[in-house]
Amino acid sequence: MYREKRIAVVVPAHNEELLILDTLETVPDFVDRVYVIDDCSKDATLERARAHAKKDARVTVIHHEVNGGVGASITTGFKAALIDGTDILTVMAGDNQMDPVHLPTLIDPIVEGKADFTKGSRLKPGYWKGMSNWRLFGNMLLNLINKIASGYWIISDPQNGYIAISSTGLSKMDLNSLYPRYAFENDMMIKANVHELRMFNIFIPAKYGSETSDIKYGSFILSTSYFLFKSFIWRIIVKLLIYRRLVYFGYVLGMLCLVLGAVMIFFGEWNILLLGFVLFIFSCIGEYKHEIRSLTEDNTNPTSMVKR
């Protein structure tokens, strides 16, 4: 228990035989349940996780017979934790990149009722030490695109999977609809925004060690950008139908003008395209202001969303 809340840690793992024990052995004592999701590993990840579970009663090991992706693994853990009555669910990947010393900082805003969903961020000078320049560039680019796609303008580092979320907030989402692979974090933010969950950013230094990544960043940036584009359109349409706010009408009209304007420039007409840009930018500003205003109405200082 942590401040009278039942805490669960979900540990997605795929071929992490070298680091899975380091991850599990550092899970704080206040955590009530640990769910290790072995995503059809080809090495000794499953065996080592099961051996650790015999020594730690908090640990439950779930094995995927078919590789489903990191998002599918986290979703499996989420479902198990919700069934067991957890109050707050967190994620600590099996590659030991998520320093458990920061776990209370992620959980506190949820315990205190200030947030439904918190996310770690490495995108602060000095905090991204150890991140390659190419990886940093990709994260910065996706960070900007994700702000537009998700509607969370004051949240950074969407690719950081170190998160915490309340069971109440998570239960509002259709877990089966969450993206199963590496764009899972982006999709979860977009779905959270549709349900208007309050998000906090927690700056946490990057932690890199002997782990390796099989992500090909060039193709990942392109595929994730395309996914975010599609998800943005879906989010705007859904929120327009649910909330009918002027800002979403502005987005839709702006996008229609951009498409029509792109055609009209071949006929020497630029005004429609410019109108589309103006409507889109003003809609972005309007959504940002709505995010800040909703936090202020909840008696939350927007600047406290980022713990420094």
Looking at 184, 204, 230, which one is the last position of a domain?
230
Q: Which residue has the higher pLDDT, 165 or 305?
A: 165
- C-alpha closest to that of 150 among 115, 197, 98, 89: 197
Average pLDDT, the chain: 92
Rounded CA separation 150/284 (Å):
11
Q: Do 209 and 271 sit in the same domain of this protein?
A: no
pLDDT digits over 25-59, tens only? 999 999 999 999 999 999 999 999 999 999 999 99
Q: Averaging pLDDT over each range in 50-54, 132-136, 209-213, 301-305, which range is the top one? A: 50-54
Rounded CA separation 105/203 (Å):
9
Does residue 308 fall inside a structural domain? no
DSSP string, 182-212: TTHHHHHHHHHHHTT--EEEEE------S--
DSSP string, 237-284: HHHHHHH--HHHHHHHHHHHHHHHHHHHGGGT--HHHHHHHHHHHHHH
Does residue 24 fall inside a structural domain? yes
Q: Supply the pLDDT for residue 308.
A: 35
Please tell me the total number of residues recorded for the chain in this structure. 308
For residue 251, give its domain range: 245-301
Please report where in the chains the tokens 């987005």 appear, as a residue.
251
Q: Do 34 and 174 sit in the same domain of this protein?
A: yes
Calculate the dihedral angle through the C-alpha atoms of 84, 196, 190, 194, rounding to the nearest 10 degrees.
100
Does residue 307 fall inside a structural domain? no
Residues 6+ apart with CB under 8 A from 22: 96
Nearest-5° Cα angle at 192, 190 to 193: 65
pLDDT digits over 68-125, tens only? 999 999 999 999 999 999 999 999 999 999 999 999 999 999 999 999 999 999 998 8
Q: Supply the pLDDT for residue 70.
A: 96
Say if residue 292's pLDDT is above 90.
no
Q: Supply the pLDDT for residue 264.
A: 94
Q: Do 157 and 127 sit in the same domain of this protein?
A: yes
Q: Do 126 and 216 sit in the same domain of this protein?
A: yes
Find out whether 36 and 24 touch, Cβ atoms under 8 Å.
yes
Does residue 237 fall inside a structural domain? no
Q: Do 58 and 184 sit in the same domain of this protein?
A: yes
Query: How many domains would you assign to the chain?
Result: 2
Q: Do 185 and 249 sit in the same domain of this protein?
A: no
Range 198-210 average pLDDT? 85
Looking at 205, 230, 255, which one is the last position of a domain?
230
Does residue 175 fall inside a structural domain? yes
Does residue 235 fall inside a structural domain? no
Does residue 161 fall inside a structural domain? yes
Q: Supply the pLDDT for residue 212.
A: 60
